[in-house]
Structure 1
Amino acid sequence: MKKLFTSQDAFELQAVRSELDALSIPYMVKNEFASGAIGELPWQDSQQEVWLVDDSWYARASRVIEPFIQKPNDKALSSEDWICGECSEQNGAAFDVCWQCGAEN
């Protein structure tokens, strides 16, 4: 067995499961009902994980989860600060909106 995917986002995990189901790729979910143990167990030990039952499916399953792992987000990849065109305030790369006047980048 090989671990394929894990996420703190339950909706993302369900989306992966749905994709695998649609392609009839055999998998199992580890810690599916362990969320109630958070606090008694470390969060890493109670996080849901998708495991392949048969390693021979790994290449195909990897193509399924690739979009979930890469998560294209151009603004998150930008590491350059920007200057607001409205008030000339310098803003960090993490901001989509000027913190001074509220104008969008």
Structure 2
Amino acid sequence: MKKLFSSEHAFELQAVRSELDALSIPYMVKNEFASGALGELPWQEAQQELWLVDDTWFHRASKVVDGIKANFASSQGGKGQEGREWVCSSCGEENGSAFEVCWQCGDAL
């Protein structure tokens, strides 16, 4: 057995599980019900992990994980800005990464 994936984001973990299920890639979930032990155990010890039952699936399963990680990272960055400030193309104003609309002129990113 080989550890494939672990995440503190339940949505990301569920996305990987759904893709593995769709591709019929055999896996098991470690610590699936361990969240009730938080406080008694450190959070790292109670975090859910996905393990491959059959190591021959590792290459294909890794591609699934890499794709989901990339999608998750880009969605967290705000329309592909990946946490960077941006300059409005209309008025030239610098805007923070949290803004999708220019605070000066109201033009969209």
Deviations 1:26-54 (A, max 9, x none): 21101100111222222111111101122
Match of 1:90 among 78, 81, 94: 94
Cα deviation 1:41-71 (Å, max 9, x = unaligned): 2211111110112222101111222221112
Aligned-pair CA distance for 1:80: 4.7
TM-score by length of 2: 0.73
Unaligned runs of 5+ in 1: none
Match of 2:77 in 1: none
Tell me the number of residue pairs that the alignment of Structure 1 and Structure 2 aligns.
Answer: 103
- CA RMSD of superposed structures (Å): 2.5
Contact conserved, 2:88 with 2:107, CA < 8 A, in 1?
no
Amino-acid identity (%): 63
Give 4+ residue runs of structure 1 displaced > 6 Å after superposition: none
Structure 2 residue runs of 5 or longer lacking an equivalent are 75-79
